[in-house]
Amino acid sequence: MNKKLKTVAIIGGGPAGATLGTLLARKGYKVAMFHSDIRPELIVGESLLPAIIPIIREVGIEEEVKKFSVFKPGASVWMDDGFENDAPFTMGRGKLPEYAYNTPRDQFDMAVLNKAQEEGVKIFRIIAKVEKGTPEKEVLLSRDTIDATNDFFNGQPDLLIDATGRTRLFARLLDTPARMGRRKDTALFAHVTETHKISNGNINLHRMSKGWSWRIPLPGRISVGIVVDQQHLNKLGSTKEEQYDNFIAQEPLMKRFTEGSKRLTGVTKYTNYQLISEKMYGPGWAMVGDAAGFLDPIFSTGLYLGMKSGRDLAHAIIEDSAVALKKYQQTRFDDLRMWQKVIDTWYSGRLFTLFYVGQDRMDTRFGRMIAPVMRTQLTRIFTGEAVSTRYSRNFLKFVTGPLIDTMKKYGLHNRDVRDLQID
């Protein structure tokens, strides 16, 4: 291998880092990963998109994931208690597989990590320490970390990767600026017993009187999450458990769905989850996955974008050029920016308005003409293909912008976008 980069250290053993390590090890790189077995009881990102299937096939874990997961044929969106819209992935009519999985994250993450080890990645189960370096190599492993590896890299590795997720180790070390999202909601979720079974395996997304929620069918249980403004949660209790339990008990739709259920786990809390680093690589280092940027949990893009970034960074490292790394960073910026625009349609109420108006106008000539295209493109939001082609991006931009504005001018059957926004 006649390349400048031969040794790579990945700090963090999650799916993004493990995907990167697997693909590099297959190409002959000497790769080590620093991984701690300490992890939260639950991790957000249990419902996969069809867009991730080609990646887990490339990594080589789909058959294993299938064994411990629930088959996922589509998504169901509840605008209110009396209006549900189903989006089978078959309606996407794109190039992606027409299915995905709902998966226990502890088993999924272990499957990716084990695959990396099988491919030759050395796993060090220690917490790596880093320090500022020189302009030529801005981040270095500490001396005691190198000693703990028995000098595996024969000095410093050629490239250090931050795969520490929301810990954002390198960004904090280098004081890298980041762009914050506009929303500051809090996500709380837990696993409950299957008292209200979701028969077809769809992820269910619900618009609430306050915030929104998800239900994800998993083997023997259901993941139930809520995403709500923290100020509202503060009124419901002093602990995350009190806030979660009281919200579900008081929200009519959630109360019905979870009636008689028992919470099987503790409550996991995520806050402040719209952030994008303005710089994702530099001399001797790069970021991957959530360490580079993360978005809202709606539409389940997080794990997909994380593993995609691992694959994209692997290709850039293998190409081994400044141009390739710059392209990797720009692709990551583009992916996050475009998905943020899609996410904004959910919170603004424009996406819900399209569902309602589509139903109202189905009996018109215009409605019958546009309905098939509308169904296909909106379904691609839930498959992950909504931003992958110029046509899909432009269509979504049109229907959630100029089209709705035109409909507002001529009447929306008493619908107002603001009435359907997420508070």
Query: Which structural domains are found in the chain, ordered by start?
Result: 7-68+104-179+275-341 (3.50.50.60), 185-271 (3.30.9.100), 347-420 (no CATH)
Q: What pLDDT sits at residue 183?
A: 81
Q: Which helix (H) or strand (E) holds 141?
A: strand 137-141
- Mean pLDDT, residues 211-230 taken together: 94
In angstroms, the CA 86 to CA 406 distance is 26
Q: What pLDDT sits at residue 386?
A: 84
pLDDT confidence tier of residue 194, bands split at 50, 70 and 90: confident
In angstroms, the CA 277 to CA 193 distance is 38
Q: What pLDDT sits at residue 81?
A: 60
Higher pLDDT, 78 or 76: 76
Q: What pLDDT sits at residue 299?
A: 87
Amino acid code (one letter) for 259: E
Does the pLDDT of residue 2 top 50, yes or no? no
In angstroms, the CA 237 to CA 243 distance is 5
Q: What is the percentage of the chain residues whose pLDDT exceeds 70?
A: 88
Q: What pLDDT sits at residue 371?
A: 64
Q: What pLDDT sits at residue 359?
A: 58
User: What integer best gives the mean pLDDT of the chain?
Assistant: 88
* Sign, CA torsion 249/254/255/260: negative
- Mean pLDDT, residues 160-184 taken together: 93
Does the pLDDT of residue 91 top 70, yes or no? yes
Q: What pLDDT sits at residue 235?
A: 96
Q: What pLDDT sits at residue 410?
A: 46
Higher pLDDT, 369 or 10: 10
pLDDT confidence tier of residue 407, bands split at 50, 70 and 90: low
Q: What pLDDT sits at residue 417?
A: 60
Q: What pLDDT sits at residue 394?
A: 77
pLDDT confidence tier of residue 12, bands split at 50, 70 and 90: very high
In angstroms, the CA 162 to CA 293 distance is 12
- Mean pLDDT, residues 51-63 taken together: 97
Q: What pLDDT sits at residue 70?
A: 97
- Mean pLDDT, residues 79-102 taken together: 85
Does the pLDDT of residue 151 top 60, yes or no? yes
- Going by the DSSP 8-state scheme, the letter that residue 47 receives in this structure is B
Q: What pLDDT sits at residue 144?
A: 96
Token readout for 43 is: 């991790």
pLDDT in tens, 14-45: 999 999 999 999 999 999 999 998 888 999 99
Does the pLDDT of residue 360 top 60, yes or no? no
In angstroms, the CA 24 to CA 316 distance is 10
In angstroms, the CA 305 to CA 99 distance is 17
- Mean pLDDT, residues 124-145 taken together: 96
pLDDT confidence tier of residue 274, bands split at 50, 70 and 90: confident
The Cβ of residue 49 has, within 10 Å, a number of other Cβ atoms equal to 26
